Amino acid sequence: MPELPLALVRAATATPSPTPTYDPDSITPGFAGFVAIALLAVVVIFLIIDMLRRIRRAGYRAEIREELDAEEEAARQAEEATRASDVDDQDIDPQQR
């Protein structure tokens, strides 16, 4: 009889699996596990709400900052336009000489 490779022999024989000494249906996290997960979920929800509030607040601040910058730029341009349009009266009035 030809010898079979060791891998085929091992595959053909069933390997016994250990039987558990406990009831797998009775192992649960219990009430303490439920409370821990529930508290974790509540904390995560509050963190998400706080994060959204902070992001929204930062957006509002950026909008206000842009508006203030635009107002300052408009005021600066108005001041430059006023200075450019001011003409010294002595340069125009020939009676002053």
CA distance readout (Å), 1 to 4, 6, 12, 38, 91:
9, 15, 17, 66, 127
State pTM to two decimals: 0.49
Is the pLDDT score of 12 beyond 70? no
Measured over the CA atoms of residue 11, residue 16, residue 22 and residue 24, the dihedral's sign is positive
Is the pLDDT score of 23 beyond 90? no
Region label for 82, one of left (φ > 0), alpha (ψ between -120 and 50) or beta (otherwise): alpha
Residue that is written with structure tokens 């797998």 in the block = 24
* pLDDT on residue 66: 95
Can you list the alpha helix ranges (DSSP code H) found in the chain?
Answer: 6-12, 30-85, 89-92
* pLDDT on residue 29: 83
Tens of pLDDT, residues 33-91: 999 999 999 999 999 999 999 999 999 999 999 999 999 999 999 888 888 776 655 55
